[in-house]
Structure 1
Amino acid sequence: MSDSEDDRPLVKAKSSATISKATDAAMDREVPTHNGVAPGVSMAMGPVTEMDIDEPITNGHAAGSKRKASLGKGKSYKDDSGSDDDDDVPLTKRRKTADSNSDSEDDKPLVKKVVKPIKATAHQIGEDSDDEVPLGVKLQETKAKIEKAAEKEAVKLRKEDKVAESKKKSKKKSSDDEDDDVPLKKKAKPAAKTNGTTKVKKEDSDDDDVPLVRKAPAAKKGKAEAATPKKKGKKDAESPGNEDAEPEEEEYRWWEDTAKGDGTKKWSTLEHNGVIFPPEYEPLPANVSLFYDGKPVKMHAVPEEIAHAFGAMLNSTHNVENPTFQKNFMEDFREALKQNGGAKDKKSGEKVDIKHFDKLDFQHIFNHVDAERQAKKALSAAEKKQKKAEKDAIEAPFLYCTWDGRKQKVGNFRVEPPGLFRGRGEHPKTGKWKKRVSPEQITINIGKEAMVPAPPVGHKWKEIKNDNEGTWLVMWQENVNGNYKYVMLAANSDVKGQSDFKKFEKARELKKHIDKIRKDYHRELKSDVMAERQRATAVYLIDQFALRAGNEKGDDEADTVGCCSLKFEHITLRKPDTVIFDFLGKDSIRFYSEVKVDPQVFKNLKIFKRDPKQDGDDIFDRLTTSALNKHLSNYMPGLTAKVFRTYNASFTMATLLKEMKKAPNAAEQMKDYNDANRKVAILCNHKRTVGAGHATQMEKMDTKIDGMRYQQWRLKQMMLDLDDKLKKKRGAAFFELPEGMTQDWIKEHQASLIEAEKVKITKKFEKENEKLEAEDQKAMKPKELESRLEVVKELESKFKKENKTGKVEAEGKGATVERFETQIEKLEQRIAVARVQSEDRENNKEVALSTSKINYIDPRLTVVFCKKFGVPIEKPFSKTMREKFDWAIKSVDEDWEF
């Protein structure tokens, strides 16, 4: 135990139950009203460099400040399922760690390089930078406008619901009265059900009786058939000439099945084939060794596998040079040696006591692994194809399961291989050994009538369950963090789609209540009861700055933090109204953000930090996550803190899309979409550090644009070659070298064009030869390649002549001035598109667009954007996202509203 822990009081300081008027008045005198930027906007995010106040503790947490455990170690998979789902997965950006040569690891911060805080720019939100209005004010104006719109929308929706409910009651009463006059035998039979939905005659249907969140968009001409199940096959099985074809399974449009998924039972029948285990470890060859103090050592396969894993990672310096990674590796490596006979000198056979990390040499292991990697890359196309076919054949039985009689794709049916845990951010357990998972640790979830998959020979499963309230197929517990790992259905499966659908529908439902919630928490910010004031302040921070609620952690877990679990040292207050957050968030990713807040919130946080509180004490000491969520559920069933993140992102995007205008082309339309996405990310605090490869990517894009400008210049010179009078007609400026382009640059660019052509021809030749060999045909001789490369020599000669004479001869058959002008115009269009894309990428460098788009913005809004502006869905959604959000693509038209 450290000295700081010994000096800490056993009982943590706690806020008083009530707040006196004298305390409120004293704080009012201390905290003036804000100046400049209005509250509710994150001004900067990133590691802090210089501050005129006390700097927050490194890494956002102090020694001995871990929270008490709220769950026992014997928690089941049901207990564990209450944690945040993959909707909150952060970016996997890892920061480089401190140098390992320092004398003391304890005094070293894990972050090696400190950079300036990220600040949003005008271009990043699609605004002009020369505007006199400060960016913070502009952002706040946008946010205030959206919140005002949300308030009006909530009032309107509640009014519509009230009218609909009144109509429903009136109609029911009228129906009951009429039914009393009808003879019993004449009364209508219950409507027939098909595929989980009820067939209703059109004239009996009344859209007013349908809740707003379930109303279907009005059908348009040519789109009426979209609401009916479709065949997946290209041709109808019953079409002429195709009588014998087997009809394919009908597409299940579950989003039209309103009765599905209301209960806790998730399936009735479930069949699957279990999991695939990773291959067993293959010991190193006799000529490859781990070296200790200059001597090759041999050991049991168990510790050798751990050493092999470290040696294979030598090129991953941000891991292997991390002192925490090294320390944890050594602990587990030495323990494995201790349990398996230790290590011996390969030559003398004497026992070797491995104690010091800096005496270990993994280079021979890395060289061996790297040689294997290169050999794999060097395989011919035919060999790669064969290996893939073999792998696919092994995996085929595990790809799909049968869920309630329907074939569903399984997400990840492979058991995690053993390896060194990396973690995200600054995880304290990075470098720990993830042990090999055995069948005896595996729990299978399957239908009662289904055949249980057979375990590997000589093994047995830990347990067989028939849990139809769970959506998992297989489960095991890993040893590093004690987390439960699950095999689930794929992202594009019905079950996952329904989960996403319900999440976004819940956010849509919040629209009806958001004004009441905001009105209530603003009122309670001044409550005399401490618990109410803390709760109101927490809801304010969650709603305005997208903070996660946070859960208590056990002593053996990473000390990650959310709003309700913020400690004294995680918040720094800077007068008059700036709050600086600095803590380890989800997955140990450092969260740093400077925000302007409401003066009352600033005053409250000052009260929550009053003496005798100190580092390690809770800010919200009279609030828990469960109590907060219970309070929120009073507004609407199922409302929790994390719904605000989805709601704020989706409602903001919906508002911005309504204001969007038609652009000249798809590239500029996508830029407008990304500008809106960026505003969502900035206003909802979805930011990131600049990627390591960003500068290189931008340089490549600039080179591509310059290359097209050079092509334009050459075409203009060819026009002069055909008609030298054009210089006088069009003006000399039209034919001059583009700005910033020199003769030296031209020669360098020409050399790159020559090399690129050479590589292209050579690769094509090699690929054709591989194909011939795969078909048992005679390969082409090297002379054929030499013949093809004559084109490269001709190109080189042509460039030399152009540079010498200063003239470019017209190329191609039927060369005309008009033809070259057409080519120049096409290049101009391509340059314009490339510049838009370049600007877009530059603006994206500090904003996490994908976080918002994948997890928080309702995908149906993106579908509406594409249909409204004629943009291909492939532009905003990758193939994986199109599969994941297939339900969204098929369920709405351009008139749908969030």
Structure 2
Amino acid sequence: MSSSDDDIPLVKGRANGVKSQDRIPKSVDKAMDKGRPSNGHVDPGVSIRMGPVEEMDVDTPVANGHVNGKRKARNSTTNGKSYKEASSSEDDDKPLSKRRRTLQAAKAHVESDSELSDEPLAHRPRPAVKKPPKATAAQIGESSDSDTPLGAKLAKEKAQIEKAAEKEAKAIRKEEKKAAGSKRRSKVNSDSEDDVPLAKKKKPAASAKKTNGVKDEDSDVPLSRKAQAPKKTKVKVEASAPAKKSNAKAKKEEETEQDREAEEEEEQYKWWEDPTKGDGTKKWTTLEHAGVVFPPDYEPLPSSVKMRYDGVPVSLHKDAEEVAGFYGSMLNSTHNVENPTFNKNFFEDFKKILDKTGHGKDKNGNTVKIEKFEKCDFKPIFEHFEAERTKKKAMSAAEKKALKAAKEDAEAPYMHCMWDGRKQKVGNFRVEPPGLFRGRGEHPKTGKVKQRVQPEQITINIGKEAKIPEPPEGHHWKEVKHDQEGTWLAMWQENINGAYKYVMLAANSDIKGQSDYKKFEKARELKKHIDRIREDYRRELKSEVMADRQRATAIYLIDQFALRAGNEKGEDEADTVGCCSLKYQHITLRPPNTVIFDFLGKDSIRFYDEVEVDQQVFKNLKIFKKPPKTTDDDIFDRLTTSALNKHLGSYMQGLTAKVFRTYNASWTMAKLLREMKSTGSIAEKVKDYNDANRKVAILCNHKRTVAAGHAGQIEKMEEKINGLRYQQWRVKQMMLDIDPKQKKKRGAEYFERPEDLDGEWVKEHQAALVEEQRQKIRKKFEKDNEKLVAEGQKEMKAKELEERLKVADELEKKFKHENKTGKVEAEGKGPTIEKMEANLEKLTQRIETMKVQKDDKDNNKEVALGTSKINYIDPRLTVVFSKKFNVPIERFFSKTLREKFDWAIQSVDEDWEF
């Protein structure tokens, strides 16, 4: 930086360090412009994290102490949901005093060891990808130029998409202005016509039907702005709807009970066609529900199972024993039990309970004071729980089914509520059981004891006239409310972070659907204002007012790179940040215009990325980092998230920073779908959609951390490929068995086994194939027995299973014979060279396809395709693709997601426009 940088005065600001002066002298901009390279300009806005980067002089990154956070994937135990809900607006329905400043964890991200090293991703060697002849990289959404990252290839495309967005915004506003003028003129004419005698008034002409399949209404106008009266409509149900009777005088007695039930099922309230629904603060008039389901009480361990302390088995009070069981049951979770923070927090809480309950007793009743974690041996407890897990796995399918049915029967009253007289599914009616808090990423409170929630901590929200759920015997509710402005049914405060937990309606309920609908409609409305917003923030990037320049730079980063806005955190909260709360150490600047982000983002997941930015933005960040700023000083020291959102709200009511993520993804997908010409089979069309989804994820920077199981999945795929290569070798050996002359004809090299498939590998693979065969036989035997029992017949005896297992024994003998003789006998009926060649061709096709799938999976390990499709792309766009190209919606949305997005599936046709 030039010496003129010294002209920028800095002053002491907030408690966390230096604050920038309120204005930036023009001399600073001019001096920095002179020192800027003339060839440094590129199309900004696309990540280059996957591409090659030359070594350059950079300012030294300051380690933030959070670069090695790792977390294994695990299923959520809080609510049993199969996926994370897209809506992030649940807090809107919570009492203000109960809202958390932190972002609630939306989904469990996971990272692998290899991706969490300190080495920048862009500097790591890229594996050479061999392009197979049958399925090229172009067929999975990339060009044949594999050395160029897809993100870089899309830079110009993103710029074109943004220009198209700005052009359309102007067109929409022009059309709306024209429509408004026409409406005013129409009203004036209507008023003047009131004086004309009725007989002289012209009758309106019948409106001509459009022949191009486009709806009469303007598809660009958000549904929420179209004036439609609330109504109940009948939904067309294929196959299940009873046919209308041709005879109008058919007797009512002929209507069956099934007909009436089917008709009732057809009648469905389409809330999305009622723009007034949910606009007010009152969310419901009547509300009835059964409350919550508590976890079962703790069952003490058998007297023979005890924790050991310094080698001595000790008896613990049941409260202490329960906590010891939390730790003991998860000894196989090395990610947690080998984490010093996890162990420290656990033992601190464990000791507090031990102090209250009198520590342990040896077999003679003497007190054993438990002081050191290192002397605690939880292995006997782990072995007990492991045995219980094994016993549960060994249960027959019938037993498991009976247990599941009993559980469902017990929970049936809690699964639904009556909301304004309509039956609605409840999402998470189970109170979270006690256990050890794990957190996400490197959470400072991981390992602490989550205490059992008592009824006295729970507040119930229910209608005044409804029956209040009965609390467990001997207990009472903390409070019963009749909050008609809230959509929660029950709430309580957990002890770890002091966060409030809420029982809400399920994802496919009207209320949840309305929340998603409003989110996407808000993003859809942004397309009318995006050009003005971008024009303003680009102009303010050069503002002399420091606050304005910081705000413009932040909006640029949020718009172009999908950064979250970020909130300030308390001292006891995870050190996660967003754009507005970035610190000095979180960004590194590399001339001419590369910015390296490295910080803990949402859910304590490391966000690492290298991006190329506009030269003015690079210059601004350099100014914002100017000494004497140092570690822990704010980059945007004159900006807060609330101030940013207040500014955005001046363009459009309700506009906040998070709307940009949804808008950019949905608008980009809409643009790609508009230009798409998808043909071929269903699988090929699905692939076209996935390719577009991949582009959206990269263009909108929807990044994810690499799953902990990713390396294992790739390894399994490689093992399957090697298995197919082994099969190829065996087929070639069979060709020699049929015709030994083939060796001379094709050459000895053709029949050699691949070098990497050595003898040791072959034996291990053969053993795995035999074991796999045995497992299949056992499962088939169990299934056949269950079927016999269900039909009232006798079960087959163990002797039958032994007989069936002989097939696997024969396979094992065959492999041993092959290994001993070095020959493979031809298999199948009437084996010929031609048949073997056909088999080889099939295996080759499978290998090449699997290689492409493996490479595709590996290339997409950091691209959150699911995040884009479920959380950010308007689901109506997926429905449009489904209907336009005749692809079943089931190919894109699972059953759960089809229920969640039922409003989208039913509300649009193939001509709908985002």
TM range (shorter): 0.7 to 0.9
Residue of structure 1 aligned with 2:376, choices 360, 364, 387? 360
- CA deviation vs aligned residue, 1:169-219 (integer Å, no higher than 9, x gap): 2333333333454689x9x9xxxxxxxxxxxx98899956786123999xx
Residue of structure 2 aligned with 1:407, choices 423, 426, 437? 423
The verdict on how the C-alpha distance between 1:114 and 1:620 changes in structure 2, with shifts beyond 3 A counting, is closer
Residue 78 (1) aligns with residue 89 (2):
no
Deviation at 1:79, TM superposition (A): 4.0
Deviation at 1:485, TM superposition (A): 0.6
Match of 1:165 in 2: 180
Q: Is the 8 A contact 1:95 1:425 kept in 2?
A: no
Q: Is the 8 A contact 2:435 2:449 kept in 1?
A: yes
Which runs of 5 or more residues in structure 2 are unaligned? 1-11, 68-92, 130-136, 227-231
Match of 1:253 in 2: 270
Residue of structure 2 aligned with 1:149, choices 156, 164, 170? 164
- CA deviation vs aligned residue, 1:850-880 (integer Å, no higher than 9, x gap): 1212211112222223333343333332332
User: Number of residue pairs matched?
Assistant: 838
Match of 1:764 in 2: 780
Deviation at 1:686, TM superposition (A): 2.1
Query: 2:664, 2:696 → 1: CA distance?
Result: 8
Q: Is the 8 A contact 1:667 1:837 kept in 2?
A: no
Query: 1:446, 1:238 → 2: CA distance?
Result: 42
Q: Match for 1:325: what amino acid?
A: F
Query: 1:846, 1:232 → 2: CA distance?
Result: 40
Residue of structure 1 aligned with 2:324, choices 307, 310, 320? 307
Q: Is the 8 A contact 1:562 1:585 kept in 2?
A: yes
Query: 1:497, 1:788 → 2: CA distance?
Result: 52
The verdict on how the C-alpha distance between 1:373 and 1:115 changes in structure 2, with shifts beyond 3 A counting, is farther
Residue 213 (1) aligns with residue 222 (2):
yes
Match of 2:628 in 1: 612
Q: Match for 2:26: what amino acid?
A: K
Match of 1:566 in 2: 582
Q: Match for 2:24: what amino acid?
A: I
Q: Is the 8 A contact 2:714 2:858 kept in 1?
A: yes
The verdict on how the C-alpha distance between 1:836 and 1:29 changes in structure 2, with shifts beyond 3 A counting, is same
Residue 18 (1) aligns with residue 11 (2):
no
Query: 1:563, 1:43 → 2: CA distance?
Result: 19
2:269 partner SS: coil
Give the 5 Å matches for 1:789-808. 789-793=805-809, 795=811
Q: Does 554-563 or 440-449 show the bigger shift?
A: 554-563
Q: Match for 1:77: what amino acid?
A: P
Deviation at 1:301, TM superposition (A): 2.3
- CA deviation vs aligned residue, 1:355-412 (integer Å, no higher than 9, x gap): 3222221111111111111111122222222211211111111111111221111111
Deviation at 1:676, TM superposition (A): 2.5
Q: Is the 8 A contact 1:716 1:735 kept in 2?
A: no
Give the 5 Å matches for 1:34-113. 35=40, 38-44=43-49, 53-59=59-65, 77-81=95-99, 89-93=106-110
Q: Is the 8 A contact 1:306 1:419 kept in 2?
A: yes
1:130 partner SS: coil
Residue of structure 1 aligned with 2:666, choices 636, 650, 654? 650
Q: Is the 8 A contact 1:17 1:531 kept in 2?
A: yes
Query: 1:788, 1:23 → 2: CA distance?
Result: 84
Give the 5 Å matches for 1:724-739. none
Residue 640 (1) aligns with residue 649 (2):
no
Q: Match for 1:16: what amino acid?
A: Q
The verdict on how the C-alpha distance between 1:441 and 1:51 changes in structure 2, with shifts beyond 3 A counting, is farther
Q: Match for 1:42: what amino acid?
A: S
Match of 1:269 in 2: 286
Q: Is the 8 A contact 2:729 2:753 kept in 1?
A: no
- CA deviation vs aligned residue, 1:243-286 (integer Å, no higher than 9, x gap): 23333342233223333222222222211111000111122222
Q: Is the 8 A contact 1:45 1:592 kept in 2?
A: no
Query: 1:183, 1:236 → 2: CA distance?
Result: 46
The verdict on how the C-alpha distance between 1:773 and 1:156 changes in structure 2, with shifts beyond 3 A counting, is same
Residue of structure 2 aligned with 1:555, choices 571, 579, 589? 571
Deviation at 1:644, TM superposition (A): 0.4
Q: Does 634-643 or 21-30 show the bigger shift?
A: 21-30
Residue 341 (1) aligns with residue 347 (2):
no
Give the 5 Å matches for 1:809-824. 809=826, 811-812=828-829
Which runs of 5 or more residues in structure 1 are unaligned? 1-6, 62-74, 98-110, 189-200, 218-225
The verdict on how the C-alpha distance between 1:824 and 1:284 changes in structure 2, with shifts beyond 3 A counting, is same
Deviation at 1:565, TM superposition (A): 1.5
**Identical residues among aligned pairs (%):** 61
Deviation at 1:348, TM superposition (A): 4.3
The verdict on how the C-alpha distance between 1:141 and 1:458 changes in structure 2, with shifts beyond 3 A counting, is same
Residue of structure 2 aligned with 1:519, choices 515, 518, 535? 535
Q: Match for 2:711: what amino acid?
A: A
Q: Is the 8 A contact 1:118 1:846 kept in 2?
A: no
Query: 2:598, 2:556 → 1: CA distance?
Result: 18
What RMSD in Å do the two structures reach over aligned CA positions? 4.2
Deviation at 1:552, TM superposition (A): 1.9
Q: Does 436-445 or 348-357 show the bigger shift?
A: 348-357
Q: Is the 8 A contact 1:758 1:792 kept in 2?
A: yes
- CA deviation vs aligned residue, 1:724-777 (integer Å, no higher than 9, x gap): 89989xx96999669959796877766544443332222222333355457775
Deviation at 1:823, TM superposition (A): 7.8
Deviation at 1:32, TM superposition (A): 4.3
Query: 1:443, 1:204 → 2: CA distance?
Result: 56
Query: 2:880, 2:294 → 1: CA distance?
Result: 43
Q: Match for 1:275: what amino acid?
A: V
Q: Report the TM-score when normalising by structure 1.
A: 0.83
Match of 2:71 in 1: none
The verdict on how the C-alpha distance between 1:410 and 1:819 changes in structure 2, with shifts beyond 3 A counting, is farther
Q: Is the 8 A contact 1:15 1:621 kept in 2?
A: yes
1:44 partner SS: coil
Q: Is the 8 A contact 1:476 1:484 kept in 2?
A: yes
Q: Match for 1:213: what amino acid?
A: P
The verdict on how the C-alpha distance between 1:90 and 1:593 changes in structure 2, with shifts beyond 3 A counting, is farther
Q: Does 611-620 or 738-747 show the bigger shift?
A: 738-747
Residue 628 (1) aligns with residue 628 (2):
no
Match of 1:546 in 2: 562
Query: 2:585, 2:618 → 1: CA distance?
Result: 16
Residue 392 (1) aligns with residue 408 (2):
yes
Q: Match for 2:65: what amino acid?
A: N
2:580 partner SS: helix
Query: 1:202, 1:356 → 2: CA distance?
Result: 85
Residue 436 (1) aligns with residue 449 (2):
no
Q: Does 551-560 or 789-798 show the bigger shift?
A: 789-798
The verdict on how the C-alpha distance between 1:587 and 1:712 changes in structure 2, with shifts beyond 3 A counting, is closer
Q: Does 706-715 or 771-780 show the bigger shift?
A: 706-715
Query: 1:343, 1:371 → 2: CA distance?
Result: 27
Deviation at 1:680, TM superposition (A): 2.1
Deviation at 1:456, TM superposition (A): 1.0
2:596 partner SS: strand
Give the 5 Å matches for 1:223-238. 228-230=234-236, 234-236=240-242
The verdict on how the C-alpha distance between 1:787 and 1:313 changes in structure 2, with shifts beyond 3 A counting, is closer
Give the 5 Å matches for 1:450-469. 450-469=466-485
1:640 partner SS: coil
1:42 partner SS: coil
The verdict on how the C-alpha distance between 1:34 and 1:652 changes in structure 2, with shifts beyond 3 A counting, is farther
Q: Is the 8 A contact 1:60 1:582 kept in 2?
A: no
Query: 1:763, 1:355 → 2: CA distance?
Result: 49
Match of 2:879 in 1: 863
1:789 partner SS: helix
